[in-house]
Chain A
Amino acid sequence: MADSPKSKAAERSAAERSAAELLKAADRSVGEMAERLCDAALAGDRRSLARLLTAVENRTSLAERALRRLYPLAGHAQLIGVTGPPGAGKSTLVAALIAELRRAGRPVAVVAVDPSSPITGGAVLGDRVRMQAYADDTDVFIRSMASRGHSGGLSSATTAAAAVFDAVGFDVVLIETVGTGQSEVEVAAAADTTIVVEAPDMGDEIQAIKAGLLEVADIIVVNKGDRPGAHRTAGQLHAMLADTPRESRPGRPAPKHPEVLVTTAATGDGVSELLAAIDRHRSAARGSDGEAVRLKRAEAQVWAVLVDRLHTRVLELEGAEDLVAALPDGAPAAVLPPVATPGSAPRQVAPRRTGPLAADELLRSVASHEIDPYAAADAILDRLVGRAAGSGRGDTQSRRGRAD
């Protein structure tokens, strides 16, 4: 009797129903967990904050729930990016900035990114070594992150982590990149103010006019100011950048005119002057420049969610696994976005040009923290695909329906 096709079908649909129930229950519990962690983190619990950051870093479903709740609460913190070549003194300078900001009573969070091994996926995160003295100060929170195959000098979760810190009330978020070469400029979109740290005698005047890192600097710091050559290096940088045109050409962003400062981060010399320069830049950038940076940041965040969503959709298509398996060796890493592929070194997927998305009202709403990047990405996706309510959950259910 149990063999009759009818009862088999009934058994199957019962099993499917209970699987769907289980999924729903799991979903509910993820939602509840996200709410609990957010409540606690917003009330000042640092352990919950740390757990949220882990979820964000691992891009779990809990992270999406939490970010959708927290993103509208963010948008108040001052985001300061610190970048520059390895060994220039970024971590030491960040430590000195923490000290200066704490003297002013401002709560500070740090996201410090170090590179992941392209071979094993492992990493040594050593930036904390320079930032020791704050064990019993609950208004300092330092979080190290591995870049996990992301190639722009940050990890793919850095901007979201900064938004979490922002939402739970940190006044300043310092974002320290991996030691960069000449062209890892992603931090410029992640931060309101980008500081490029150089060491003395790292290059001549030709280095100062090359394209890349120095172009995105809002402030240039020549660190290790006690070394011979520091002031000469600062002078050369200043002289070469003085020729930057004042007027912007139509259709291009206004050229930057970075201040050039000398610091000795290890002793704190010049750090209060640096903080003053950061605040000057902040008040100067309140207008259209700042708006452009915020739009760019919103675009990158929405784009990242879109890529994730599309990635999921493509892999959900019938036969997708066979298709990916049939690609030539190495192709999946080049074709697929850098989701959960530690060990590969995928290409950067952030958009280089501002496409039709840039004009969108949605991005403005994300930039002003009225809506979260997930809502914007889903709205764009709906518009593109032309169907209603395209959340990940809906997809799972409809796929289950099709399997019948």
Chain B
Amino acid sequence: MTDRPLKVLIAKPGLDGHDRGAKVLARGLRDEGFEVVYTGLRQTPDMIVTAALQEDVDVVGLSILSGAHMTLLPRICALLHDRGMDDVLVAAGGIIPDDDVPALKAAGVAAIFGPGTTIAQVADFLRANARPRD
């Protein structure tokens, strides 16, 4: 209804300290015209979902390189569902083996962006798939 910028939460669930990718993406999406809320390192699923709710974001982007994605990502999707936020698009990036992708998609992660993805690819996907909610 409005041509407002899309609002994206970029969060790092779990315990790895590698936030370079998340920061590059936050800045890259800024340059693509998104409003990016960055929450920093070592977020619990509860913290991420609370931030997504308070900020009323269109997209939750999760960066994870610790290997705990099969635990944390479905947990975040379930919490979003519990709090009535099924209209929020969930995307993930980081080191996630191809074998895990079908299960993550079934859990509610709409897209998984591995190494080599360009900012433009991410931006185009979000623009095409984030649901207008006004």
Contacts and interface: CB of A to CB of B under 8 A. Distances in A.
B26 A124 contact: yes
14 contacts: A50-B53, A50-B54, A60-B134, A122-B31, A122-B33, A122-B34, A122-B36, A124-B27, A126-B40, A128-B40, A135-B46, A135-B51, A146-B5, A146-B35
B47 A129 contact: no
Given A120-B30, A128-B39, A146-B5, 5 more contacts: A122-B36, A129-B38, A135-B51, A142-B51, A142-B54
Contact of A123 (B1, B3, B30, B56): B30
Contacts of B27: 124
Interface residues on A, range: 20 to 34
Given A50-B54, A122-B31, A135-B44, A58 B36 contact: no
Contact of B55 (A116, A117, A143): A143
Given A60-B134, A142-B54, A47 B84 contact: yes
Nearest to B44: A135
Contacts of A132: 39-40, 43, 47
Interface in B32-69: 32-40, 43-44, 46-47, 50-51, 53-56
Given A122-B29, A122-B31, A54 B53 contact: no
Interface in B77-94: 83-85
Contact of A60 (B1, B5, B47): B1
A342 B6 CA distance: 13
A122 B30 contact: yes
Nearest to B51: A128
A121 B47 CA distance: 27
A50 B55 contact: yes
Interface string A227-260: 0000000000000000000000000000000000
A125 interface: yes
Given A47-B85, A54-B56, A142-B54, A120 B40 contact: no
Given A120-B33, A122-B32, A129 B40 contact: yes
A123 B113 CA distance: 22
B4 interface: yes
Interface in A113-142: 116-117, 120-126, 128-129, 132, 134-136, 141-142
Given A50-B56, A60-B2, A124-B26, A117 B37 contact: no
B1 to A, nearest CB: 7
A122 B40 contact: no
A143 B51 CA distance: 8
7 closest A-B pairs by beta carbon, nearest first, are A129-B40, A122-B30, A50-B56, A135-B47, A135-B50, A54-B56, A120-B33
Contacts of B29: 122
A340 B39 CA distance: 27
A238 B2 CA distance: 48
B10 to A, nearest CB: 9
A114 to B, nearest CB: 9
B2 A58 contact: yes
Contacts of B85: 47
A124 B134 contact: no
Q: Is the interface of A mostly helix, strand, loop or mixed?
A: mixed
A46 B53 contact: yes
Given A50-B55, A135-B44, A342-B5, A125 B37 contact: yes
Contacts of A340: 2-3
- B5, B31, B39, B40 pick with most chain A CB within 10 angstroms: B5
A219 interface: no
A129 B9 CA distance: 12
Given A123-B30, A125-B36, A128-B39, A46 B2 contact: no
Interface in A10-67: 46-47, 50-51, 53-55, 57-58, 60
Nearest to B5: A121
A128 B32 contact: no
A368 interface: no
- A46, A47, A50, A125 pick with most chain B CB within 10 angstroms: A125
B39 A53 contact: no
B3 A124 contact: no
A151 interface: no
Contacts of A142: 51, 54
Contacts of A141: 54
- B26, B32, B54, B83 pick with most chain A CB within 10 angstroms: B54
Contacts of A116: 35
A348 interface: no
B56 A53 contact: yes
A136 B5 contact: no
A47 B83 contact: yes
Given A46-B53, A47-B84, A54-B56, A123 B35 contact: yes
B56 A124 contact: no
B38 A58 contact: no
